[in-house]
Amino acid sequence: MSFVLGTYARKNISFSQGKGSYLYDINGNKYLDFVSGIAVNSLGHCHEHLIKIINEQSKKLWHVSNAFIIPEQERLAKRLTEHTFADFVCFQNSGTEATEASIKIARKYFHEIGKPNKKRIITFKGAFHGRTIAALFAANNPKHTKGFDPIVDGFDQVPFADHETLKKTITDKTAAILVETIQGEGGIKEIPDYCLKGLREICNEKNILLILDEVQCGVGRTGDFFAFEKSGITPDIVPIAKGIGGGFPIGACLLTKKVSIGMKPGTHGSTFGGNPLAMSVGNGVLDIILSDGFLKNVKKISEYFNNELINIKKKYPKIILEIRGRGLLRGLKLAVDNTLFIENLAKNRMLVVKAEEQVIRLLPALIVSKKEIDEQSL
């Protein structure tokens, strides 16, 4: 009997310890962890640098209200802006909050520039933006929204990769396009660079903001700090979370100066968002991810990983139909039931997670080694 509300279909495995790419269950069995808390444990489990940082910070200061200037928060915001398109950062605790903050920022921007009717957000089928009430109806997945009506209005959904419908859906009420650069839960579906460029062009033409949800695909997962970087475009707003905390709950919304103008004192807030403990960990994650050669190595290991996946697909062409994704955000589209497949992998001490379209997601830690990748190929 569990007294935890049954909102998850949990596997009957519990872990007591983790180290790098491995997890150890309460019976001492060792698992190769290619879930990484769904792209959260970017530096693997119990990274020495993060242990040191959290130990040191825990002896100094855990939490103060955002009513005060928080130096650790200032530092993380400065570093994030120095390394990205953004001019400002607003801290939250989760991905869904970061996405919601993005929606608020976009709407407030148009309010501020005297276009109060420009408030609707275009989203894409297969999207996932989190579980708060607006994020649910933004993604509009019937599996997640059923029973949670009344519908939260303000979102217009279009099919994935249907440019014509997208163009027809834009009206003078459209404030923003909100899209994951790579759909995670939806089945590891990448927006090709030329489409991202096209989205940017439409946004420029129609005075619409481009919000790229990089909660899952950002913070080094693709080998670039952001997945959109390869396309050469600049978004207006980018929510992140997961990997930036390395296991500590952090969400953040990155934005340009242009769109920041409406966000004055009192327009947004979070009790916990950006507290000293969380921000120290976030800075610790950046110490590693932004260190010389780290992302280059993620790209190199990703290439090796992809080649190994290609080999496995060649070996089992009737089971693996397609390899999707980029970097260390990979999906295998299966011809067989993905849930059963995942259960069998877990019996063989390897952990992966599912996505839509019979896809299994492989999300190794960014510090994964060749040797560990070889283990999954056996």
Q: Is the link from the previous residue into 364 a cis peptide, with omega within 30 of 0? A: no
The distance of Cα 343 from the centroid of its chain, to the nearest Å, equals: 24
- Which lies closer to ligand PLP via its Cβ, residue 77 or residue 253? 253
| Buried/exposed 228-255: b ≥16 CB within 10 Å, e otherwise | bbebebebbbbbbbbbbbbbbbbbbbbb
Question: Least distance in Å: CB of 48 to ligand PLP?
Answer: 25
Nearer to ligand PLP by C-beta: 23 or 40?
40
Nearer to ligand PLP, 196 or 373 (CB): 196
Closest separation between CB of residue 156 and ligand PLP, Å? 19
- Closer to ligand PLP by CB, 185 or 372: give it: 185
- When the beta carbons of 33 and 185 are compared against ligand PLP, the nearer one is 185
Tokens of 269: 């807030």
Structure tokens at 158: 């279009």
Q: Is the distance from CB of 295 to CB of 360 less than 8 angstroms?
A: no
Shortest CB 328 distance to ligand PLP, Å: 15
Place of tokens 């969400």: 251
> Is residue 324 helix, strand or coil?
strand
Q: Shortest approach of ligand PLP to residue 132 CB, angstroms?
A: 8
Give the residues lining the site for ligand PLP (CB under 6 A). 38, 94-96, 99, 128-130, 180, 184-185, 213, 215-216, 241
> Nearest-CB residue to ligand PLP?
95
Amino acid, single-letter form, for residue 219 = V
Task: Give the Cα separation of 189 and 324 in Å (integer).
Answer: 7
CB of 84 to ligand PLP, least distance (A): 17
For residues 181 and 373, which CB has a smaller minimum distance to ligand PLP in the complex? 181
The helix/strand/coil state of 148 is coil
The least CB distance from residue 309 to ligand PLP, in Å, is 21
